[in-house]
Amino acid sequence: MQFLRNPPRFLFFTGKGGVGKTSIACAAAVQLAEAGQRVLLVSTDPASNVGQVFGIEIGNRIIAIPAVEGLAALEIDPQQAAQQYRERIVGPARGVLSADVVRGMEEQLSGACTTEIAAFDEFTDLLTDEALVAEFDHIIFDTAPTGHTIRLLQLPGAWSGFLEDGKGNASCLGPLAGLDKHRARYKAAVEALSDPLRTRLILVTRAQKAALREVTRTHEELAAIGLRQQFLVVNGVLPASAATDDELAAAIHRREQAVLAAIPEALKNLPLDQVPLKPFDLVGLAALRQLFAASAEQPVGEIEANGDFALPPLTGLIDDIAADGHGLVMVMGKGGVGKTTLAAAVAVELARRGLPVQLTTSDPAAHLAETLDGTLANLTLSRIDPQAETERYRQHVLQTKGAGLDAEGRALLEEDLRSPCTEEIAVFQAFSRAIREAGKCFVVMDTAPTGHTLLLLDATGAYHREIVRQMGNSQVGYVTPMMQLQDPKRTKVLLVTLAETTPVLEAANLQADLRRAGIEPWAWVINNSVAAARPQCPLLRLRARNELREIAAVASHHAKRYAVVPLLKDEPVGVQRLQALLTAH
């Protein structure tokens, strides 16, 4: 593997959930340790299974891996870190400030930005503690901070004062309260990250268009702030030897090779490694030692749905949605799970049944037009331009909240307005206009903000609370966007995931986030399921067996209702193929 040649002291593995970061990081740590290096493996992944991979309990302390001389590991629990971080900031305010103010502080500190900054706060010691660093030749991090977080830490001080003056509640500056004490340590950590002699960034992805688009954005964002020592790893590539005597496997192989042949221009100059899909679960040392090597296919047993769960098709959910005649359908989920395709499939089927449908998306229009590949009676498409809406929102905030700021305060506010929360708020404001249409037709929304963003928007705009105050106890004559989202008769939220450990955990976290905002997800959709496709190829049959465990977890623990959409031989492009998603099993 090129990314392991002459490695520096720090190696960061980053990428979307479910692409295999942990497996790649663990295999790299084993290889370096067995080559005689002293290695510390650190996970900040909320779905970390490093302990499971090595068959031991690790937790939030450095322990030696008994089976691998020279290897130690540490699992930072980002949720626990975020809770401790929140309490350090909010704790002193309890009993001093009003309950409303404290609740507002807690909400500002409830989003993904807080979790990320809290995790970064934990592992900056590993970058800057000279005595600790001297104990190891290499420190490997499973999950790296985003460019947004690093840029925030590069800005000048005065975080606390900025927030205390009420200037920094535009989206997610709340997590930065109280950072002044650690600015010197953060500065040293950022310098270490930006030094190619000390740090190497490994971008892990899959051979899929959406995944490569996402990793391109990560590459450009991090390169822009000085993290230019980057390598690209495409994980889980189906080998040609597995694509014989199975139409599904052959189609996947052709699709992946076409994607790799058309790799985005921005990534072409990065050193590239491909890791083939393996016919075994990546747990245990034997598996990790084989991950980077070519290996023969191994036979696997029959796919059996053991348990009291089924693989229900999407058409069952649409039957229930269509019965209402109109309403809002929000398709939500993390990047790369296929939200756009499923939103289009739901809209197409509702329109095919003669119901009026408006499909609203913040996805670039070309992608959606490519997915639909045609027109359909009863279906109209509206598009929200995220860049235009975000810029409009950004300018509004700068002209109002930023008008009286000094240069330092304005720099803080401008950086805050580059956060992912800002785009979600701006896009949701545009979505709010479409929500009103759901009283007379179906409005299907692709891409939706998180519960944290909805609550933050509700709090900063005070729209919902102000209307409630004006109307008193009357419940007639007004419906705010938040009220519509919270009403299951008006809004149905579909959570989209994949039948893999990390995507399911991310969807469960999103569900908890939405519930905090008073929004109850109506159903889960498990997309691109190999198990539902009933493959013959041994590699894919093993993957199908592993999926059944995750589908069972969704069926028994997470979802009130769910559907499973199979991985199709042909990409679901065009009206006919989108309809095939509904019933194919």
Residues with catalytic function: 18, 20-23, 45, 502
Quote the strand ranges of 158-310, DSSP E: 199-206, 230-237, 272-276
> Residue 379: beta bridge partners?
357
Token couple for 142: 């499973």
Token couple for 155: 């800005």
Quote the strand ranges of 63-150, DSSP E: 63-64, 71-75, 138-142
> Residue 444: beta bridge partners?
329, 359
Q: How far apart are CA 510 and CA 87, in angstroms?
A: 22
Helix (H, G, I), strand (E, B) or coil at 442: strand
Tokens 């230019």, located at residue: 228
Quick count: other Cβ atoms within 10 Å of Cβ 403?
Answer: 9
List, edge to edge, every strand of the sheet that includes 230-237.
63-64, 71-75, 39-43, 138-142, 10-14, 199-206, 230-237, 272-276
Token couple for 80: 């626990």
For 292-337, the three-class secondary structure string (H helix, E strand, C coil) is CCCCCCCCCCCCCCCCCCCCCCHHHHHHHHHCCCCEEEEEECCCCC
Q: How many residues does the chain have?
A: 585
**Contact present, 42 and 170 (Cβ < 8 Å):** no
Q: How far apart are CA 178 and CA 66, in angstroms?
A: 39
